[in-house]
Structure 1
Amino acid sequence: GTLKITNLTGTVVHGPLRLIVESTTPDTITLVNPDGTIGGKPYLDLTALLGDGKFDSGESSIRTIEFANPNRENFDLSVKLTGRTEEDKSVTARRKFAQVGIPECSRDGLLPFDLAEGNAAEWETWAQDMEPQNTYVFDDLDTKASGNASIMCVTDAPFDMFIRYGRTLSEPWDLSKVKNLFIRLYARNDNLSFQNGSPWIRLKTDDENYFEFQYYIDGNPYDLLNDCLWQWRSQLISLDAPDNEENGWRRTSFGSPDWTQIRYLEIHADTWDAGFQMGVDGVGFDTDRAIYRDFNADCSVDALDLATLAQFWLCPGCTPMTCEGVDIDLSGKVDLADFALFAEEWLKE
């Protein structure tokens, strides 16, 4: 069926757009104007975007889809959108704020929106005391949490192993202004359990100097990957996590790592016995757009971005996934502190 999304608010989005669709069986989404006329050619073919992950008849689920807007057409969308399919199935769509990513014209070497999106060639693997060919990654088009693919690792390792992003990058990353790492984790493991506090995640200047992040419960490393068996689990990791965290993500520094010279993101895991699979998806740092205040991703910090900030003024309960990224200081509320940060960039124009 076809879901028609109606403009109710006049909030202009310059694309790219990212929607979370909660539905049964829509095949396409068509934008329409308030008077019911078509607001642009039909687009957003869910069948193509979801591939084999197309909704089954009668299935109630949530899928995240995203699509580009190469012609820079302006579409008017409300933050939460509802409609009905031709089969009279109830459908809800809501615009999803991209945690990471600004348009190509403004990237200036910043990291991609999703570090785990059809780019297995940019990841490398290692497994202690094992043959290299028996630990590998691939673009998994079937098991994914967002976009078109995840990065899936297969290993026969009985000891420490890792997957690492950064093998093809020539310049270091400056993460000095970034506050959080976002990651979705998935695992398959027929053994007794993961162990040693899997996963532990490292941001490395080099092999001797890095920040390590590990989840703790009651002061002890916790095997979070056991909670990810055959399901995706999302994690938000503060890069400023305390080194004595008792319940949550703890950060430990080794050597003298430099936030302005980070070259690798490394994800380690270990299991009882040997062999498992681990997937990652939706991997990114904070919101590059929020850093540069271009909320609507039109390559200009202007009055349209100020309008987006005004739209969510004093709204409580904001997260990096909501409020279009205008909660710049991640305080949970859009207020004068966010306006001050926005103004710093706006006045540079």
Structure 2
Amino acid sequence: MGKLILLVLVLILGVVSMAIGEVSTRVCLADSNTPFPPTDPNFPHIYPDIMVGMKLTIIVDSNIAEPWSGSLAIEEEYWDYGVLSARDYNESMFDYEGSHFDAAGNEAVVWDWEEPGIDGFDLYTGSTGIETGDWFIIDYNATGIGDCNVGFYDHNVSMYDPIYYLMFSHVRTRDFNNDTKVDFRDYAILASYWQETDCNDPNWCEGTDLDVDGSVDVNDLMLFCKYWLARTDGD
């Protein structure tokens, strides 16, 4: 009876340990420090709308100190909307050295993952010197209006099927003068087209017709104000 109880306890503790140990992602602004939280905590991988041109960072972290490999990648149907990039490529090692942190271990590497229909990066910890904490960082740039899903893969689960998607939705920029911030300069551009009724594709009155209905009016002003003082560079 005592052995049976001990066995049950071992199994329970093993399950708890598996539940606690986790490699996961979090999204920050381009500064890599300011959190960019999901829209609803009940849906932790769906994020608020961002403007085209906005840059984010995806950080892979872990509360376990064990060897691991995985990937971040975008499937072909989303290539027109978002782009992933890694940092500080070492051509001789084929490794993006700036995209793995010390906690990922002594032999950690980040390699390109490019094949038909998929584009992203493979992430490998080292086999020694692994610590809990932030392991990898990949940059994300919203390049087109529409939805973009970034797949997060855990190779312990599957090499080719993501365990979840980071889901982003991109809207028209309010940074009309492309200086990385939405401010009075952009408001002045919108005001210069106020009550214009002949906006059309592809310019849409320098982008100020935000709802693309052909005119610049109070609806566009409301959409503009939603991103007042927002920055695309994350500073």
Relative contact order: is structure 1 or structure 2 higher (C-alpha 8 Å, sep ≥ 6)? 2
The TM-score, its normalising length taken from structure 2, stands at 0.33
The TM-score, its normalising length taken from structure 1, stands at 0.24
Larger radius of gyration: 2
